[in-house]
Amino acid sequence: MSIIRSVVAGCGSYLPARIVTNQEMTTIVDTTDDWIVERTGIHERRIAAEGEFTSHLALNAAKAAIADAGIDAQEIDTIILATTTPDQTFPATAVTVQMGLGIHHGAAFDVQAVCSGFIYALTIADTFIRCGQAKTVLVIGAETFTRLLDWTDRTTCVLFGDGAGAVVLTAGEGEGTTADRGILTAHLHSDGRLKEKLYVDGGPSTTQTTGHVRMEGREVFRHAVVNIADTINEALAATGLTAADIDWFVPHQANKRILDGTAKRIGLPPEKVVITVGQHGNTSAASVPLALDTAIKDGRIKRGDLVLLEAMGGGFTWGSVLLRW
């Protein structure tokens, strides 16, 4: 049986130029390189320059993904941008990116699911393609997350960074089996009962300010490992595949200990886990495509490989996408 599959045609990413090392963080808050590395695996993060906005990072990543896909930007009929740090409350940052690409047709909109944003955006894009609503979708995760940080709070400000990643998804044909290229299954979840564990203490409707990130790290950690393992098992059950079939695990890059714990829980060997958190910290919605692009460009992920993506973030929100490259 012939079915429509959403195939990744290209991938790209962008990190701002300014590197802030753990050593530099010790001049800002009471912390040490040892503490940050031991508890999180983070060595450095990037911070966007003054006047450099989420749309700028997104546009750079988008251009790289379009070039990698070898398509003309005009072929894109939908742009979905996941971000928690839009340039403005409105219009959507996706529309600014659309304009930057010289596209004046189709739809462009933002998705807000914090660190799970890219997984949410990819799932929406897949649904659009499979139901015939779109043919070529640019999916972006982009953040200037450091602009939400309280630089006096050492429990959060050492963790996050800025960056962007993007993929171009195109409509392809498959046989309806797990041997098909493209997205094989996608699963999304949210549960607001624990929203106070990770949130921003401001917003247009409540305080008319942007607010700062607040997190009970230990609680988030505890739920992250369980929720992520659950959604991975859900993806495997939906496809009849097993952990042994997975070639590459590309998780949300929040904390190396969470990634190690999750891999262990589902029985994945450490060498199959793509870990880039050390180089850019937690970049929220940008982290999955940043890690994905790294493993593609360095030759680890090859055509035909089975790739598992997942994320968990504020809300809580979490989800997984299983695809064949």
Which residues are known catalytic residues? 115, 252, 282
Largest pairwise CA distance in the chain: 61
Residue at token pair 């921003």: 200
Position among 139, 158, 232, 263 found at the interface with ligand UT7 (CB under 6 A): 158
**CB closer to ligand UT7, 100 vs 217:** 217
3-state secondary structure 37-81: HHHHCCCEEEECCCCCCHHHHHHHHHHHHHHHHCCCHHHCCEEEE
Nearest-angstrom CA–CA distance, 89 and 86: 6
| 200 in Cβ contact with 83 (< 8 Å) | no
Q: For ligand UT7, what does the binding mask look like between residues 18 and 37, x meaning CB under 6 A? A: -------------x---x--
Position among 71, 147, 210, 221 found at the interface with ligand UT7 (CB under 6 A): 221
Stretch binding ligand UT7 (CB under 6 A), from 1-9, 76-84, 151-159, 240-248:
151-159
- How many CB atoms lie under 10 A from the CB of residue 164? 35
**CB closer to ligand UT7, 169 vs 258:** 258
What is the dihedral sign for C-alpha 251, 256, 257, 263?
positive
Position among 82, 224, 275, 322 found at the interface with ligand UT7 (CB under 6 A): 224
User: Which residues, 118 to 147, sit near ligand UT7 by CB under 6 A?
Assistant: none
The minimum distance between CB 139 and ligand UT7, in angstroms, equals 19
- How many CB atoms lie under 10 A from the CB of residue 67? 13
Position among 104, 105, 218, 303 found at the interface with ligand UT7 (CB under 6 A): 218
Question: 43: closest CA among 35, 52, 51, 55?
Answer: 35
Q: For ligand UT7, what does the binding mask look like between residues 254 and 273, x meaning CB under 6 A? A: xx--x---------------
Q: Does 217 bind ligand UT7 (CB under 6 A)?
A: yes
Residue at token pair 């949410």: 120
**CB closer to ligand UT7, 155 vs 178:** 155
Stretch binding ligand UT7 (CB under 6 A), from 56-64, 70-78, 98-106, 219-227:
219-227
Q: Which residues contact 308 (CB under 8 A, 6 or more apart)?
A: 232, 235, 246, 248, 249, 250, 320, 321, 322
Contact residues for ligand UT7, defined by CB under 6 A: 31, 35, 39-40, 115, 154-155, 158, 217-218, 220-221, 224, 254-255, 258, 282, 312-313
